[in-house]
Structure 1
Amino acid sequence: MSSAGVSSVDSSTIAIKGLLAKAQEVKPDGGVEPALTTQDFEGGVEEVGKQNVASNKDYAAIETACRNIFYALLASTSIEESPFGEVWNLLDIISILSDLEICEPSLLFWLVEELLDTQTIDGCRIVFDYLDSRRERITAKHFKAKNLIILRACNELLRRLSRAEDTVFCGRVFIFLFQSFPLGDRSSVNLRGEYHVENITVFEDLLPSADLKAGDGMEVDQKEEMEETEQYAAKTEAAAAAEPTKNAAENPENTLKAVKFDGQDEKTQEKPTDMDVLYPVFWSLQEDFSTPTRLFDDINLQNFQKGLSSTLIKFKEVQQDLQARGTSKLPDDGKRGVKRKRNGLEDELSSSFNPKYLTSRDLFDLEISDLAFRRHVLVQALILIDFLLSLTTKAKRKLEHTSNKSVLYTYTLSEDNAKWATSMRSEIAIYLQQGPEGKFYYRMVDTVLSRDKNWVHWKAEGCPPIQRDPVSAGDYSEAEKGTQKACANKRLRATPMGSLDLRFLSDGGDTDGMEKLKDPERYTIPTADSFRGPIAEDDFDMDMAKTGEEKQQATDARASKLWRTLRIASKSKLNLFDKIDDGNNLQALFQPEEEESKEKTEVEGTEQTSDQPAKESKPNGAEQKMVDENEAEVPPETTAK
């Protein structure tokens, strides 16, 4: 970029080169670390700021000066060499200038984007070492001016990377994006619910085995090839029509070799499918995985159910065969044909190789034998089954209030299909928990899918903001004061809340309060007669009550006194309880003891009179003698009276 003769650019170039010279003194090694700060330049950054103010914040002059220095360094040094450290120093200086609003905030990422375009994949890894080490610093301020450039640069880099060979690097790029952008940012949200329909899986059309045995060395012209093609098409149609009858006649037990899904015989579904038959069925599932809305058609849904069921049955058969032979393959066995020393199961499961599976028929048997391949396919099936279960009536009822109608579908899954999806999901879950680290693998997958449901619900609501504003200084200080006050040692009150006032113990007047507590009336059981008056008062209150509430209070008070009266009277007057009728006629309990004894005597006399006839009996001789002796002992005065 030419800037000859422009005084502002020349002065900015001299100032920035002076900062680079000071940075070279601070970091003579030229590495990525440590990051440069404002204090390392001893006021040099402020001088650049003063020049910028003098030129009315001429961002273009500083940008031109930085680009000229940047391009010169790229042309003269390689990223693997130590002199390339001046580029990292320049980027640190630009970051400081942008934070101080001396240059354009997005200038740093403009240069990083160009730097990524000029480097190989290995060089881009070094650039990301710099970005990872400075992430918090370079995204702390003016992020709105930088976010689109960050997103564009990372997406361009991801297009260059191979998902199979550079899996770890792709993960670093995604992690950098996730950590840079806010959690509720819409840049990574597919609001319109679009699917990757361009991802088409191409697989072979298998020919019958008889045609596969044709000689390879025979040369034919175009006419003969066309004739053979027509003959093959006619032969195929005839063979397809006669195949079921022929198989049934020759070998009846093999008529169930291909999996049938008519639901009439459960044993039929348990028969594993032949590899040649399973091959096109298996790879046709990828179309449903990439475009789930195809399953809204009943025919496509039935085909998907058949294909997934036969695939799972075959996976179970392969798993049993490998376990029986003791050759169950670990997730990454035989990858890329490279022999490496293994450090155990942990290294196998944590390998970074992410294969791009091929659809060749010759590789199909080997791919089915790979545990990682089977798990990969079944996880895709779990994702699609969860999508189907989100279309049930019960699940759609939870999303009725949402606003993003583009991800809400009018299609409703029937109850039968919902039962099939639920049972198939449980079967896949049981299968994934088998094998090396199976339970850990399924727990990880289930956790991710469970959290993804929350994100789907958030997207259906139109992605409302989930970011909370920071707590203000005033609220923080008030909360701090309240916490200190709550945790401070408190002085007890003279009369704490809810405590009993015990002043009556000492302020008893002439008598001490403790003596009052010793009064026998406090612990002596009252007599039944003591409740006679209170019960009568309650009866009077019940008769004079004007409202239902007053009458209810009087009724409850009378019932309480009546219960205590009966409890006390049960110890001495239990024989009188027969005269009490449902709490009435209590006068029998309150009679004095003399009247009770008199009444008792009268009752006994009455009983005796009623039991024996009225006739006089003459005393015998002994009784008559005792009467005479008693009369002789009576004093004369008494007799005279």
Structure 2
Amino acid sequence: MFISLYFWFLSDICGTSTLFMMLSDLFDSITLDQCDSVFKFVEERVSLWKSDTFYNAGKNYLLRMCNDLLRRLSKSQNTVFCGRIHLFLAQLFPLSERSGLNLMSQFNLENVTLYNTKAEDYDELRKSSVDEKEESMDIEEGEMQDSSSAIPIDYQLYRKFWSLQDFFRKPIQCYDKNSWKAFEGHTADVLNCFTSFKLDEMQISDKRSKKSGRAKPSQNFFAKYLTSEKLLDLQLSDSNFRRYVLIQFLIMFQYLHTQVKFKSPAQTLSEDQTTFIKDIRERILKMLQETPPDGPKFAKTIEHILAREEYWNRWKNEGCQSYVRQLSEDDCKARSKFQTKHKRKNIGDDLKASGGKLMKLGNSELTRLWNLCPDNLDACRLESRNFMPTLREYFEESIDQADPESGIEAGYKLTENSTFGWKSLRVLAHSSPHFFAQPTGGSANQGSKKMTEYLDSMVQKIIDEKAVAEGKGKEDVDADKNLDNTADMDDNLEDKDDASTRPASPAGIPVTEDLVSQLSQKLEKSWKSLGTELGLNDEEIQGFEAENSKTQAQALSMLTAWMEGEGERATVSVLEQALREIGQQDLANEISAEQGSPKE
């Protein structure tokens, strides 16, 4: 479990394909014995590799890794390991995966069975084998009788028997008349040999009990036939070996008789061939039933497996269609009708359908809240939900404290409270953005002092506006509309020394080309700082510097670009404010004086 979680974590860091590349390189760099141990880790986590995170990215890597292992392994010596790899691939890929199918019905022509093709060598080996048995002194009489075969073995039977493996390897040879004639003769002789020597279950059990010391028969599996001349008489007396050969006949007959998509038109059986196959098949099934142990049960199992193989072949002929059943049009309509009929409705849908009538939610408080307004979004926009107080309501207590008759010292006023100060700024910002022109400045202590002075000036401004409104007899005067020109008050608070000598700069006067030309002659090297304060980036400033060699032309280009880019927002007050920020107080006062005086 820990390793699986580690793989999940590692896939987010380096990508899923990296994990499979590491596994592939690991198998390439270790021995086969080590591969056997490491492969247990891979095959135990089939469910992890089949997950959406790993399958699409790693299926090709795993297939290539398994194929490389199969090429390194020996089919005769590493049979179990090869089988584990094939089982792993069968579990990893879905049943409809076409990359693991033999769609073209091709045969493994490399599986060649080698045997002795010279009669002289066969006779010599048989004679030497008999001499060795006669000279042996350790073999008892009863064992000698058991080892002798009741089947007459000669070279012709030996040659015919092993030549059948070539037909099993390549069944399409049977469609040739000459090859079929040879196959027909060899098959008849081999089956007659099997029939002439029937195996007895008691005899087999006695032989195995003498060899192994146990009465229970053992199961033997052979990956590759041994074609030695000395072993043929023993092989023909073995029940498992006989079953192997008989099953090969059945598999070959099924291929010849079954319709395969990729067979050529010439690959068809004649009536005589069909009759021969039918008779031989019945004869082989009967021999399987007579072969111990559990002959009838074994023969029935083989018939069932071959019947299932026909369905598999039919599925391949039809193009390997998906095993997921597709719904018909009638089923789709019925399902959509069922889903529409039983679709769960939302409470809001029921309220709209009821035309705005009272909707009961099962609780008195929920019912009251829901039915306050037919539309919940409109209810959120009601004026009654606006909890922001007006300036006069919020500063009412501060106005009373500002009255000298109240006798409240400056240190105990609300304007000295920092929490009240920040809340006041939020109320002022909601009323007019000009209150944030320069609320504070300097160090922390100076900033706190100016905040207090700023709030006191706002309170005094509200008192004056209230007195003016009451003196003129106007009712319901909105204090927010009378505070549009408070930027000059902020400037006075920022610079007390110049407050008496500098007139208030008009906020709405646009910057003209004449003003830009005059200012460019006086800026000198500070034009870059002014450009940064006006919102121009470093690339633009460097561009102005590269286009012009003189400082006046550079400043003029910068101011002209700013004026054209800002449009109506390029006002004298903004320019004046930027000059003060970069320390050009004299230029700011000069522009304010020139633009604030009446024109002749």
TM category (shorter chain) comes to 0.3 to 0.5
Q: Give TM-score scaled by structure 1 length.
A: 0.44
Q: Give TM-score scaled by structure 2 length.
A: 0.47
